[in-house]
Chain A
Amino acid sequence: MNVHEYQAKALFEKFGVPVSAGAAARTAGEIDAALARLPEGPTMVKAQIHAGGRGKGTFKDGFKGGVKFCPTKAEAREIAGRMLGNTLVTAQTGPAGRVVRALYFTEASAIKKEYYLAILLDRATSRPVIVASTEGGVEIEKVAHETPEKLHKVLVDPAYGLADFQVREIIFKLGFNPAEAKSAGKLIRSLYAMFWETDASMIEINPLITTPAGGTLALDAKVSFDDNALFRHPEILALRDLNEEDPKEVEASKAGLSYIALDGNIACLVNGAGLAMSTMDIIKHFGGNPANFLDVGGGATKEQVSAAFRIILGDPHVKGIFVNIFGGIMDCNVIALGIVEAVRETGLKMPLVVRLEGNNVVAGKKTLADSGLPITSGDSMADAAGKIVKLVA
């Protein structure tokens, strides 16, 4: 689960990670009150959406930049009026963009130098890794690719936690002076405590800055949390913003389905994540384009199949459906009955290819054939994928 920058910064403050003074506004009426909490002078206005590239983004009305420096609070007030409720398109939002429903004002901090700092899971060692670089404020993928020697990694032993020598190692690698080092040491320790205690999946500060006064500050904050651990962090679950999620994905998760919208026109309905991914792949292999990832789970029920059809048909780009079920334990006939019912309920008009295999498959195929509905049967995954691609083309 992702959170907004202003929410992440509030958590930073709670854990003692220094940030610039800031205040959020979610309605036009809140703008003045938010600004009143900041000192007079240069102010940043930051559009709050769950997507990167905000600074280089463009609003749908042509206004440029979702992150703006304003010399005065009066100017910040005016800029805020143009951003709030407007739709921001960035490299990460797709052409539809995202409606800006919250703004974050911060005191514009004087910057001496920008750095990069992140904590995430290192999958190869199954340990948290702290990634730090002197190259802040730029795309870290680019640094990793072009100058990997400028990326420093410290693996943390989960049995001991972050050790002091490791904090010093990061500080020396980043070349902080003694005053900065003191502030940075506290920041790194606090950030690790937050990562561990909140079950974060990733915390990224880009840029982390040093100030002329000798301090360090987190200028930006990108934080995501482990969905599997949210049950023990109700205060973090409360930060979830459903406006930032695809409504179809939200509906799917309520029905116990895993759904991700893509930009093709052949919808998939599959049991199991691996099989669902490969079903998308095989559609592409035969020249088609998958409209979604949809995993109904290893033991799908009739109700789930019915919910899956509703979600799939909510996507206006869908021109055909490919159902691929390997019924290991579950009964293929139960799935077939669910498909027949869903087709009748929705009055399906578009091509539907069903590939059933596994437990009680003969009865399942008979149910489909006897339904009198225009359902095409596929034998193998390849056979079925070939058929749906042809029917939709």
Chain B
Amino acid sequence: MSILVAPDSRIMVQGITGAFGARHAQLSLDYGTRVVAGVTPGKGGQFFEHAGHRVPIFNSVADAASATGASVSAIFVPPAFAADAILECADARLDLAVAITEGIPVRDMVRVKRAMQGSRTRLVGPNCPGIVTPGTGEGSQGGCRIGIAPGYIHRKGHVGVVSRSGTLTYEAVFQLTTRNIGQSTCVGIGGDPVNGTSHLDVIKLFNDDPDTVGMVVIGEIGGTAEVEAARWIKQNCRKPVAGFIAGSTAPAGRRMGHAGAIVGGTEDTAAAKIAVFRECGIEVAETPSDMADALIRAAKARGVTLS
């Protein structure tokens, strides 16, 4: 089991003919992910060919979905058109839209988020590395890779990872895999101030997933989403949780790379979030090198076997 996507999920890629989308569509196909459709308006009827794969391209998300049964989309559309691409997924009633695009205007996302209220489509991202549910093959091949994460660092198993940041997620996954601890699903929720799925949304899914026995929750400065998640964990989650918050040394008022990583007040500092994590029984990683070990400590304390 896994959350959000499984190895047999059927994926479409919006922006499959752009350089970025094409490159990662190829890597997903190599990983064994079922990329069954591409969407590029105006190129419907053409094919995306790679290593013996022949993926049909459609003019719209709705066409791609009805012709191929794809229910999940990976969005690689440039920022000015990305909001529209997300709304198109909601209109086609997909299960999941994963927006990789970085640099979408905040106002566009404010409108998209409002328009998607009550929609059956879940949005992950934007400005995120995507989702990986590892497979059973060598280097976790045969899994579902949506987005830009390196597939080979994963290993099939029972730990859930949720994070705003790409490379910091890879760091955590790599630490787990080198300790022979596999992952059920790894979810990058993105570094923007307005995103679709929150830390807490993912944590609830992991908590309900019988195949996930523990989680690593990675946050950063800015906003209070991690605090909300931690309070829920304290009340509702019996699974071991390790946490890390990036940005202890970040100066107030400066955006640290991610549009959402900015200290605005006393509530959204790393120190404040770490204090709440501790208070809520989350095992805090002292340094980013300590993320997997922190989970091992948390699991030991609860008598849970991770691998």
CB distance from A197 to the nearest CB of B (A): 9
Contact status A281-B167, CB under 8 Å: no
Nearest opposing residue in chain B for A231, CB measure: B80
A215 lies within 8 A of chain B by Cβ = no
Given A201-B106, A328-B153, also A274-B265 (CB < 8 A): no
CA distance A326 to B173 in the complex (A): 11
CA distance A298 to B257 in the complex (A): 11
Q: Mark B153-181, 1 if CB is under 8 A from A, else 0.
A: 10000000001111111110010000000
Query: With A262-B251, A295-B257 in contact, do A273 and B165 touch (Cβ < 8 Å)?
Result: yes
Residues of B in contact (CB 8 Å), total: 64
| Chain B residues positioned under 8 Å from A262 (CB to CB) | 249, 251
Q: 1/0 per residue B277-307: CB within 8 Å of A?
A: 0000000001111100000000000000000
Which residues in A have their C-beta under 8 angstroms from that of B105?
199, 226, 228-229, 232
Partner of A290, one of B115, B129, B246, B249: B249
- Confirm or deny: B221 has a beta carbon within 8 angstroms of a beta carbon on chain A: yes
Check A123–B224 contact: CB distance below 8 A. yes
When the two chains form their complex, are residues B288 and A278 in contact, meaning their CB atoms are under 8 A apart? Answer: yes
How many interface residues does A have (CB within 8 Å)? 55
Say yes or no: A126 contacts B248, CB within 8 Å: no
Given the complex, which residues of B lie within 8 Å of A271, measured CB to CB? Answer: 167
- CB neighbours of A127 from chain B (8 A): 110, 114
- Which residue of chain A is the closest to B191 with respect to CB atoms? A273
Q: A226-B105, A228-B104 are in contact. Are A277 and B246 (CB under 8 A)?
A: yes
Residue of A nearest to B152 (CB): A359
A310 to B44, CA, bound (A): 46
CA distance A357 to B260 in the complex (A): 27
- A282 and B289 contacting across the interface, CB-CB below 8 Å: yes
Residues 282-326 (chain A) with a chain B CB within 8 angstroms: 282-285, 290, 293, 295, 298, 326
> Are A277 and B194 interface neighbours, CB within 8 A?
no
When the two chains form the complex, which single residue of A126, A228, A290, A357 contacts B259, counting CB atoms closer than 8 Å? A228
- Given A159-B114, A293-B256, does the pair A277, B289 have CB atoms closer than 8 Å? no
List the A side residues contacting B244 at CB < 8 Å: 278
Q: Which residue of A lies closest to B167 (CB)?
A: A272
Q: Is A61 an interface residue (CB 8 A)?
A: no
A274 and B113 contacting across the interface, CB-CB below 8 Å: no
Q: How far is the CB of B176 from chain A (nearest CB, A)?
A: 14
- Which residues of A113-156 are within 8 A (CB) of B? 121, 123-124, 126-128, 141, 144-145
Given A159-B114, A272-B166, A273-B261, decide whether A293 and B150 contact each other with a Cβ distance below 8 A.
no
Question: Which chain A residues lie closer than 8 Å to B220 at the CB level?
Answer: 274, 277
Across-interface contacts of A279 in B (CB, < 8 A)? 288
Does B258 touch A at the CB level, under 8 Å?
yes
In the bound complex, CA of A266 to CA of B129 (Å): 28
Is residue A81 contacting chain B, with contact meaning CB distance below 8 A? no
Given A228-B79, A258-B257: A275 and B288 interface contact (C-beta under 8 Å): yes
Whether B167 contacts A326 by the Cβ 8 Å rule is yes
Q: Give the residues in chain B near A385, CB-CB below 8 Å.
A: 287
CB of B248, distance to nearest CB on chain A (Å): 4
Closest CB-CB distance, B221 to chain A, in whole Å?
7
Is the CB of A172 closer than 8 A to any CB of chain B? Answer: no
In whole angstroms, how far apart are the Cα atoms of A293 and B218 in the complex? 19
Residue from A128, A285, A295, A358 in contact with B174 in the complex, judged by beta carbons closer than 8 Å: A358
Contact pick for A226, options B80, B106, B163, B266, CB 8 Å:
B106
Partner of B113, one of A126, A275, A280: A126
* B114, B129, B244 interface centre (most CB from chain A within 10 Å): B114
CB-CB contacts of B56-79 with A at 8 A, as 1s and 0s?
000000000000000000000001
Shortest distance from the beta carbon of B116 to any chain A beta carbon, whole Å = 10
B257 and A276 within 8 A (CB): yes
Chain B residues near A258 (CB, 8 Å)?
257
Residues of B close to A145: CB separation below 8 A? 266
Which of chain B's residues 202-258 have a Cβ closer than 8 Å to chain A?
218, 220-225, 228, 244, 246-251, 254, 256-258
- List of B residues within 8 angstroms of A238 by Cβ: none
Which residues of B, 16-50, contact A by the 8 Å Cβ criterion?
27
Q: In whole Å, how far is B76's beta carbon from the nearest beta carbon of chain A?
A: 13
Contacts of A283 in B (CB 8 A): 249
Please determine whether B174 and A273 come into contact, CB atoms closer than 8 angstroms. Answer: no
Q: B54 interface residue, CB < 8 Å from A?
A: no
* Residue B109, interface by CB 8 Å: yes
Contact B165 A275 (CB under 8 A): yes
Q: Do B106 and A277 have beta carbons less than 8 Å apart? A: no
17 of the cross-chain contacts (CB-CB < 8 Å) are A123-B193, A124-B224, A127-B114, A158-B114, A201-B106, A228-B105, A272-B168, A273-B191, A274-B166, A274-B191, A275-B167, A285-B286, A298-B166, A328-B170, A357-B174, A358-B170, A382-B290
A sample of 10 more A-B contacts (CB under 8 A), given A145-B266, A328-B153, is: A121-B106, A126-B113, A226-B106, A262-B249, A272-B166, A275-B165, A277-B221, A277-B250, A357-B171, A358-B150
Residues of A within 8 A of B (CB): 121, 123-124, 126-128, 141, 144-145, 157-159, 196, 199, 201, 226-229, 231-232, 258, 260, 262, 270-285, 290, 293, 295, 298, 326, 328-329, 357-359, 380-383, 385
